[in-house]
Structure 1
Amino acid sequence: MDVLELARTQFAVTSSLHFLFVVLTLGLAPLVAIMHTRWTRTGNPLHERMTRFWGQIYVINYALGIVTGLVMEFQFGLSWSGLSHYAGDVFGAPLAMETLVAFFLESTFLGLWIFGWGRLPKWAHLACIWLVTLTAYASAFFIMVANSFLQNPVGHVARNGRLELVDFGALLTNKSLIFAFPHVIGAGLFTGGMVLVGASAYQLRRRTTEVEFFTRSMRMGVIVAAIGIFVTMGFGYAQFGVIDTGKFDGNLGLALPLAIMIEIGQLLGLVVLLVMLPMVGVLWRLRWTHPLLIAMTPLPFILSIMGWMVREIGRQPWMIYKQLTVADAMSPGLTSGMITSSLIGFVAVLGLLAVVDYVLIAKVIRRGPSDLALGASDAQTRSPALSY
């Protein structure tokens, strides 16, 4: 491959690996917040244990995902300085907002939530996890604002060979954004819900003693997955009415990911909405379905990657649609050796993080809701005044 293809491959692989973490974060955050809300309102120990168990999985995924996000930011300066030079004033604005939201607000509130068990008043502690959820979604929103500008550049004027931002509101109301953002949120909810379903099916098939715990988790997962796939499909099809279909003309590289996304997505939608949701009350008892539910767990991740591929391949050969080509956006002076070495390094690091993420989450799921690190010192540090 030439330098341009290597640079594109590098960004495609690293962004796909990063999005595996992102989509699970978007899915689990509101679920953990709902569990915590139930615990705060009822004081039911089962809800506390559910919050700690699924919250620990969320924390593991978030912590490792942050590192993959740093690699993504680094690549803009390494391989795509032409983009920064030409459109940094516009493209950089939402990215700066995302950095403030994700690396400062979201991390701060998550730290307060992690270390606030037994120390913060119960409603303040609950507020922290909801703020984590809101800032996670705000972070995703600003990323989609930046990406939507690449798809449909608005809110700018060209002066002296560069783009200048003149209307930030136009970025926030971009027609490429208003349907794409809910589509991503739906994919996150679908993914988070199916992780709950798959993990619960695994434990129930092993005849766990925590039957009520994983029955409730499975029920919650099915309902959220049904909501997620419905939103994903609805806003996915809605985008066909607002995108520039000229992007896709003659784009053969788009055919495979588009076909995978649509066909598997439709099939999963039918299964979740027409089979799993009507059977949500008895699904936990039907052990013959549990291997199928476990096997379905990776599919939302695959669909999410296919979705990103469709969105990015459909824009080629443009970095900014009809404004800046990918070739012009690439940093000058790059060589095949430079890109190859960084590609190997990035893939090794991000691939290792993905494997570690899977191993740690699988370990927590296999062990079940016992000996959890999150909130482990709660009983020792909680004072009567802060009791739940």
Structure 2
Amino acid sequence: MEALELARLQFAMTGNLHFLFVVLTLGLAPLVAIMHTRWALAGKPLHERLTRFWGQIYVINYALGIVTGLVMEFQFGLSWSGLTHYAGDVFGAPLAMETLVAFFLESTFLGLWIFGWGRLPKWAHLACIWLVTLTAYGSAFFIMAANSFLQNPAGAVVRGDRMELVDIGAMFTNKTLIFSFPHVIGAGLFTGAMVLVGASAYQLRRRTSEVEFFTKSLRTGVTTAAIGIFLTVGFGYAQFAGIQEGKFEGDTGVVPLGIMIEIGQLLALVVLFAMLPLIRVLPRWRWTHPLLMLMTPMPFVLAILGWLARESGRQPWMIWQKLTVADAMTPGLTPPMITGSLIAFVGVLVLLAIVDYILIARVVRRGPRELDLGAVPEPALTY
């Protein structure tokens, strides 16, 4: 493979692996916040246990997902210095805002939420998880703003050999952003919800003693999945209004786009017209539980297909009709150089994805007992 093909493959693989963590984070954060809210209002032990159980899964996924995001940041300097030189003043602005305004705040509030159990006042503790959710969505918005600029360079002009941001309002109201951002949020909700459904079906299939706990979780997951898939499909079709003319000419991006649409439509029919109407009886119908477990990875598959379609569809442009991918690549890179970083980056991300799955699966198998999140520390021994 040529150096350019290897660089594209490297970013595609690391980007998609990173998005597996992101899409689950975006889905679980509001669900955990809602569970915590119900616990704060009603004070029921069940709601506390729901918050701690699903919150621990959220924390595991978030912690490991951070590292995968750092790997992507390195690549802009290593492989795509042409993009940094030509449009770094524009493209870098929303990325900087994501890091400084959203990501740092999100991590801070999450730390307060994790270590605030039994220490912070009830409502302050609840506010922390809602601020985590809002900043997570803010982070996603800034990332989508940066990506949408590559799809449609609104708000910037070319001066000399560089692009300059002249209208930040145009960047944040980009026609490719206003429909794609809700589409991603819907995909996140659908993903997080199906993890609830799959994990609950697994426990109920095993005839768990925590029937009430996982019945509640499964019904919450089905309801949220219906909302998520409705938003995903609706705004997915709405995105076509913001697609640049000629983007999907030829074969670029058409195959993953077509597969994604077909699978998405099928899942929407299943969730909206089968699972949702049967929400009261699904926890008791054990024969449906293997089917629900098999559906759990499908939102992740759709997320990958969506990104492949969005990114490959604008080839050969890095910035639509402004900068080609070839010109955006760092000069002087050779195939052996990129192969080395490709093996290292992808190896680390695959390892993190495996660890993430193992840790989450372990929590799911164990169920809502002996949870670390929110556990009251044992008093120190005195002599």
How far residue 151 of structure 1 moved from its aligned partner, in angstroms, is 0.2
Q: Distance in 2 between matches of 1:255 and 1:94?
A: 29
Q: Aligned pair in 2 of structure 1 residues 45, 116: CA closer, same or farther (>3 Å)?
A: same
Matches within 5 A, 1:1-388: 1-250=1-250, 252-377=251-376
SS in 2 for 1:118: coil
SS in 1 for 2:164: strand
How far residue 240 of structure 1 moved from its aligned partner, in angstroms, is 1.3
Amino acid at match of 1:328: D
Q: Distance in 1 between matches of 2:123 and 2:153?
A: 43
Q: Distance in 1 between matches of 2:267 and 2:378?
A: 42
Provide the aligned length of Structure 1 versus Structure 2. Answer: 380
More displaced stretch, 238-247 vs 109-118: 238-247
Q: Distance in 2 between matches of 1:245 and 1:167?
A: 23
SS in 2 for 1:285: coil
How far residue 102 of structure 1 moved from its aligned partner, in angstroms, is 4.0
SS in 1 for 2:375: coil
**TM score, norm. by length of structure 2:** 0.98
Conserved 8 A contact 2:103-2:139: no
1:264-313 CA distance string (max 9 Å, x none) = 10000000000000011111001000000000000000000000001001
SS in 1 for 2:253: helix
Identify the residue that residue 384 of structure 1 maps to in structure 2: none
SS in 2 for 1:369: coil
Q: Distance in 2 between matches of 1:77 and 1:355?
A: 27
SS in 1 for 2:318: strand
How far residue 256 of structure 1 moved from its aligned partner, in angstroms, is 2.2
> Runs of 5+ in structure 2 lacking a partner?
none
Q: Distance in 1 between matches of 2:331 and 2:276?
A: 53
Conserved 8 A contact 1:118-1:379: no
Q: Aligned pair in 2 of structure 1 residues 55, 323: CA closer, same or farther (>3 Å)?
A: same
Task: Compute the RMSD of aligned alpha carbons.
Answer: 1.1
Percent identity reads: 78
Amino acid at match of 1:183: H
SS in 1 for 2:223: helix
1:87-127 CA distance string (max 9 Å, x none) = 00100000000011343100000000000000000000000
> Runs of 5+ in structure 1 lacking a partner?
382-388
Q: Distance in 1 between matches of 2:336 and 2:220?
A: 49
Conserved 8 A contact 2:316-2:325: yes
